Structure 1
Amino acid sequence: MLSKDDLDNLGTGKRYYLFIFLLIGLILLSVVYSVSIGQVSIPFAQSKEIVLHALTNGTLGSLEKVQNDSFINIILQVRMPRVIYALLIGIGLSLCGTVMQAVVQNPLADPYILGISSGASLGATFAILVGFGSGAYLVQMGVAFGAFAGAMLTSIAVLLLSSIGGKATSVKLVLSGVVIGALCGSFSSLVIYFANNAEGIKTVTFWSMGSLASSSWDRTPIMAVVVLLGAALFLFQHRILNTMLLGDESAVTLGINLSAYRKFYMMVVALVTGTMVAYSGMIGFVGLVVPHITRGIFGTDHKRLMPGTLLLGALFMIWADILSRTIIHNVELPIGIITSVIGSPLFIYMIVKRGYNFGG
Structure 2
Amino acid sequence: MSRKTYVRDKKNGLLKGTPIYIGVSIILLVILIFSIGYAVTLGSANISIKEVYKIIFYELFHIGDGSVLGSGPIHDVVWLIRLPRIILAVAVGMGLAVVGIVMQAVVKNPLADPYILGISSGASLGATMAVLLGVGTTFGSNAIGICGFIGAFLISILVLLLSNIGGPTNSTKLLLGGMALSAVCSAFSNLIVYISNNAEGMKTITFWLMGSLAGAKWSDIIFIIPIILIGTIFFITQSRTLNLMLLGDEVSITLGTNLHIYRHVYLIITSLMIGVLVYSSGMIGFVGLIIPHLVRMIFGTDHKKIIPIAAIVGAIFLTWADVLSRIIVKGAEIPIGILISAIGAPCFIWLMIKRTYGFGGNNQ
TM-score under structure 2 length normalisation? 0.84
SS for the counterpart of 1:282 is: coil
How do 1:309-348 residues align onto structure 2 when only pairs under 5 Å count? 309-348=310-349
Question: Hey, which bits of structure 1, 4+ residues long, moved more than 6 A?
Answer: none
Distance 1:297 1:237 in 2: 21
Alignment match, 2:84 = 81
**The one of 7, 28, 41 aligned to 1:36:** 41
Distance 1:52 1:257 in 2: 51
Corresponding pairs, count: 344
Task: Determine whether 1:106 maps to 2:109.
Answer: yes
How do 1:192-211 residues align onto structure 2 when only pairs under 5 Å count? 192-195=193-196, 197-211=198-212
Alignment match, 1:16 = 21
Q: Against the structure 1 CA distance between its residues 39 and 251, is the aligned structure 2 distance closer, same or farther, given a 3 Å change threshold?
A: same
Identical columns (%): 47
Alignment match, 2:230 = 229
Question: 1:180 offset after TM fit, Å?
Answer: 2.8
Structure scoring higher RCO (CA < 8 A, sep ≥ 6) equals 2
Alignment match, 1:115 = 118
Note the alpha carbon deviations across 1:250-309, whole angstroms, 9 max, x for none: 322343221111011111111111121122111111101101111122221111111101
How do 1:159-170 residues align onto structure 2 when only pairs under 5 Å count? 159-163=160-164, 168-170=169-171
Distance 2:88 2:82 in 1: 10
Q: Against the structure 1 CA distance between its residues 340 and 261, is the aligned structure 2 distance closer, same or farther, given a 3 Å change threshold?
A: same
Q: Against the structure 1 CA distance between its residues 272 and 169, is the aligned structure 2 distance closer, same or farther, given a 3 Å change threshold?
A: same
Q: Against the structure 1 CA distance between its residues 330 and 241, is the aligned structure 2 distance closer, same or farther, given a 3 Å change threshold?
A: same
Once the two structures are overlaid, the 10-residue window that deviates more, 204-213 or 100-109, is 204-213
Task: Determine whether 1:153 maps to 2:154.
Answer: yes
How do 1:117-156 residues align onto structure 2 when only pairs under 5 Å count? 117-132=120-135, 134=137, 138-140=139-141, 142-156=143-157
Return 5+ residue gaps in structure 1 as ranges.
1-9
- Which letter maps to 1:139? G
Distance 1:277 1:18 in 2: 33
Question: 1:83 offset after TM fit, Å?
Answer: 0.4
Q: Against the structure 1 CA distance between its residues 142 and 266, is the aligned structure 2 distance closer, same or farther, given a 3 Å change threshold?
A: same
SS for the counterpart of 1:270 is: helix
Alignment match, 1:220 = 221
Alignment match, 2:272 = 271
Once the two structures are overlaid, the 10-residue window that deviates more, 31-40 or 176-185, is 176-185
Return 5+ residue gaps in structure 2 as ranges.
1-14
